[in-house]
Amino acid sequence: MTFLACLITWIIVHVLILHSLKLQLQTAIWDSIISNCLLGAGCLLISNNLKYYLPKRQQFWYVLAFSLGITMLWLFMLNLIIMAWPAFTTDYTSFFLKSLPIRFAVGFIFIASIATTSVLWYAIEDQKESLRRKTETEKLAREAELYGLHQKLQPHFIFNSLNSISALAVSQPQKARQMIQQLSDFLRGILNKNENERILFSEELNHLQLYLEIEKVRFGHRLSSQIVSSETALQMTLPALLVQPIVENAIKFGLYDTTEAITISVSATDSDHMLTIKVQNPFDAETALHPQGTGFGLSSIHRRLQLLFGRSDLLQTLSEDGIFTTVLKIPQ
Amino acid sequence: MIKTIIIDDEPLARSIIVEYLEPYNTIEIVAECNDGFEGLKAIHRHKPELIFLDIQMPKINGFEMLELVETPPSVIFTTAYDQFALQAFEAHAVDYLLKPFSKERFHKTIHQWIAQSKKLSRDEPIQPLLQAASKSPAQTERIVVKTAGKIKIIPVNEILFLEAADDYVSIYTKDGSFLKNKTLSHFEQILDGSHYVRIHRSYIVNVDQITRIEPYEKDNQVAITKSGKRLPISKTGHARLKHILGI
């Protein structure tokens, strides 16, 4: 829009200049329209070209040479048209030829300034765009981090545990204190562990036992657990905080899917340089909504394993005879 | 005496409410329940005026249990952390206690309830809350119905088709049909639109169940299901069906 307004203004100014040089008004108007429309086209050409291609180095020389080239092209085309145009007299054409240097100078100034403005404009736009993208990525990263923290801390578990402690504080203060201790150790375990670091399975098992003890206080007689591990498996290593979400899934699955008492069993063995951990929970085959357990935490474990080992066969689930089994294999 | 029931799957969580209720001589705890099934039975038997209800419980959650009670008593919800439930509570100004809650907070809630229940025309805040809650993640995956005194949990993907019947909707599954006091529009909202199509004012059908579509009288169509049922298709319904099936 601005560009068009400038062009029209310049066409008028151009007419006035030519007219003041004793040129016929009609000829002046034709001259102005033809040369300036061509000039406008040249400006658009250079501006569009710079939008899509701008060398990182030697920008100045590129813009200068390009502007010169376009100006020459413009003058050449203009010359062709003016000479071929039947309405112009020979007086006018000789005037035109004499005015070529000045036309070249004016045209060059126009084209070069449009080119410079375009370069600046696109550079600013580019910067705005990359800034926007940067804030966007930062925002996403922050959200992911918050979500991860949320997942790790399990607010539902913590608040329910605190509620149990509140109940015990009056009836069984000793037990309340013990549970505070367990909950603290559990939280410290979560906060101190780096998910990318490998730890001994015995350490992960301690963390798991804390978790199970707390859950047992919450659910009373409904929940019991059984942990079996071979001596060699205890000495094997695995990425931190992998097993607890599986057990958490088993507890949720077991406790929220049946109304009876349940036993969660965890067994660990070593086989062919693999640490194999098996977690089992009972479920009601008739009403189970998540036969694969995807609705709970297993899909994130699956993703983590894929990132860590580049394999998708390390986590397997199986439901049979009312028992849901999750098998986790960790290469050593 | 005011009869009350505590429904929570954690014994210790129930014991706190029992302890906090001790000073109230006018409130009698007639039952403590481990889950929604026990809760339903106890409500039916004792007809309490007030219940304390946890949301996350085995098999059916607190909201689902309430849906099955014909004339729900006053409810004070107790929950630890459930973003969805909190939003639903706040939107409908229902009283709820966030675990762990203090004695003071508990007393305030009870006093408020006593003052409110004295008024004759007490507003019933439960219905809109249940409507909001029925959009919760758990409840878009399954539907809980009561049939001949038993509770049945229907995973939504087992629904063959739905038929509007007055204020109810008949849910047809391979095990038969079940009534639920919801509208067809409600199901239209919660069901997966790429599999369930509202083919008629009174019908939503699982497209996988349609074996063929036949012309019926002039201008009209019927869908024939695998079980041989003939379901009418309206004009807009036909357009929707064609869109989903890509024909």
C-alpha distance from B57 to closest chain A C-alpha (Å): 6
Substitution target in B6, B9, B12 with the highest count of A β-carbons within 10 Å is: B12
Query: Within an 8 Å CB–CB cutoff, is residue A257 touching chain B?
Result: yes
Which residue among A156, A259, A289 sits closest to B80, beta carbon to beta carbon?
A: A156
Return the amino acid letter for A114. I
C-alpha distance from A155 to closest chain B C-alpha (Å): 6
Is the CB of residue B233 less than 8 Å from the CB of residue B200?
Answer: yes
pLDDT for A292 beyond 50: no
| Distance of alpha carbon B182 from alpha carbon B156, whole angstroms | 14
Pick from A139-148, A202-211, B89-98, B214-223: least confident: B89-98
Residues of B in contact with A220 (CB under 8 A): 10-12
Is the CB of residue A127 less than 8 Å from the CB of residue A58?
Answer: no
Given this model, what pLDDT does residue A294 score? 45
pTM over 0.95: no
Q: From B21, B27, B130, select the one nearest B72 (Cα to Cα).
A: B130
Pairs of residues, one from chain A and one from chain B, whose beta carbons lie less than 8 Å apart? 77
Given this model, what pLDDT does residue B42 score? 94
Q: What are phi and psi of A245, to 5 degrees?
A: -60, -30
Q: Terminus-to-terminus CA distance in chain B, angstroms?
A: 65
C-alpha distance from A174 to closest chain B C-alpha (Å): 15
pLDDT for A320 beyond 90: no
User: Looking at this predicted complex, what is its ipTM?
Assistant: 0.78
List the alpha helices (DSSP H) in chain B: 11-21, 36-46, 62-67, 83-92, 103-118, 126-133, 184-190, 235-245
Given this model, what pLDDT does residue A167 score? 93
Annotated domain spans of chain B: 2-133, 141-245
Helix (H) or strand (E) holding B97: strand B96-98
More confident residue, B156 or B119: B156
Which residue among B57, B80, B155 sits closest to A160, beta carbon to beta carbon?
A: B80
Pick from A205-209, A282-286, A295-299, B41-45: least confident: A295-299
SS3 (DSSP) at A226: strand
- Averaged confidence pLDDT in chain A: 85
Given this model, what pLDDT does residue B228 score? 85
| Distance of alpha carbon A232 from alpha carbon A222, whole angstroms | 32
Classified by CATH at the fold level, domain B141-245 comes out as: OB fold (Dihydrolipoamide Acetyltransferase, E2P) (2.40.50)
**Sign of the C-alpha dihedral, residues B235, B239, B245, B247?**
positive
Which residue among B34, B98, B141 sits closest to A259, beta carbon to beta carbon?
A: B34
- Residue B88 CB: number of other CB atoms within 10 A? 24
What does the pLDDT look like over A102-125, one tens digit per residue?
888 988 898 888 888 888 888 898
A171–B15: do the CB atoms touch at under 8 Å?
A: yes
A163–B10: do the CB atoms touch at under 8 Å?
A: yes
**Minimum CA–CA partner of B151 in chain A:** A287
Given this model, what pLDDT does residue A227 score? 93
C-alpha distance from A172 to closest chain B C-alpha (Å): 11
Given this model, what pLDDT does residue A297 score? 66
More confident residue, B73 or A168: A168
pLDDT for A265 beyond 80: yes
Query: Within an 8 Å CB–CB cutoff, is residue A260 touching chain B?
Result: no
| pLDDT interval class at A295 (50, 70, 90) | very low
| Distance of alpha carbon B198 from alpha carbon B28, whole angstroms | 48
Pick from A216-230, B159-173, B209-223: least confident: B209-223
B37–A259: do the CB atoms touch at under 8 Å?
A: yes
A259–B59: do the CB atoms touch at under 8 Å?
A: yes
Q: How, if at all, do strands B168-173 and B161-165 pair?
A: antiparallel
| Distance of alpha carbon A159 from alpha carbon B100, whole angstroms | 7
pLDDT for A139 beyond 50: yes
A259–B153: do the CB atoms touch at under 8 Å?
A: no
Residues of A in contact with B98 (CB under 8 A): 159
| pLDDT interval class at B43 (50, 70, 90) | very high
What does the pLDDT look like over A16-57, one tens digit per residue?
888 888 778 888 888 888 888 888 888 888 888 887 777 777
Architecture of the domain delimited by A155-331: 2-Layer Sandwich (3.30)
Q: Domain B2-133 is classified in which CATH homologous superfamily?
A: Response regulator (3.40.50.2300)
Highest mean pLDDT: which of A17-26, A208-217, B150-159, B231-240? A208-217
Is the CB of residue B10 less than 8 Å from the CB of residue A220?
Answer: yes
| Distance of alpha carbon B238 from alpha carbon B221, whole angstroms | 8
| pLDDT interval class at A327 (50, 70, 90) | very high
Is the CB of residue A85 less than 8 Å from the CB of residue A31?
Answer: no
- Tell which A residues from 277 to 316 touch B, by Cβ distance under 8 Å: 284, 287, 289, 295
Which residue among A158, A168, A257 sits closest to B12, beta carbon to beta carbon?
A: A168
**Minimum CA–CA partner of A159 in chain B:** B80
More confident residue, B126 or B231: B231
SS3 (DSSP) at A192: helix
B56–A156: do the CB atoms touch at under 8 Å?
A: yes
Which residue among A155, A156, A287 sits closest to B59, beta carbon to beta carbon?
A: A287
Annotated domain spans of chain A: 2-148, 155-331
pLDDT for B91 beyond 60: yes
Which residue among B15, B81, B153 sits closest to A156, beta carbon to beta carbon?
A: B81
Pick from A201-205, B106-110, B191-195, B197-201: least confident: B191-195
Given this model, what pLDDT does residue B123 score? 54
Query: Within an 8 Å CB–CB cutoff, is residue A192 touching chain B?
Result: no
Find the radius of gyration of the CA atoms of chain B: 22
Q: Which two tokens stand for residue B221?
A: 């169509």
- Residue A273 CB: number of other CB atoms within 10 A? 9
Interface of B with A (CB under 8 A): 9-13, 15-16, 19, 34-35, 37-38, 56-59, 80-82, 98-100, 141-142, 153, 155
| Distance of alpha carbon A21 from alpha carbon A96, whole angstroms | 12
Q: Terminus-to-terminus CA distance in chain A, angstroms?
A: 68
Residues of B in contact with A162 (CB under 8 A): 99-100
Mean pLDDT of all residues in B223-229: 86
Strands across the sheet with B203-206, in order? B176-180, B168-173, B161-165, B203-206, B196-200
Is the CB of residue B170 less than 8 Å from the CB of residue B162?
Answer: yes
Q: Which residue has the tokens 């079940």?
A: B178
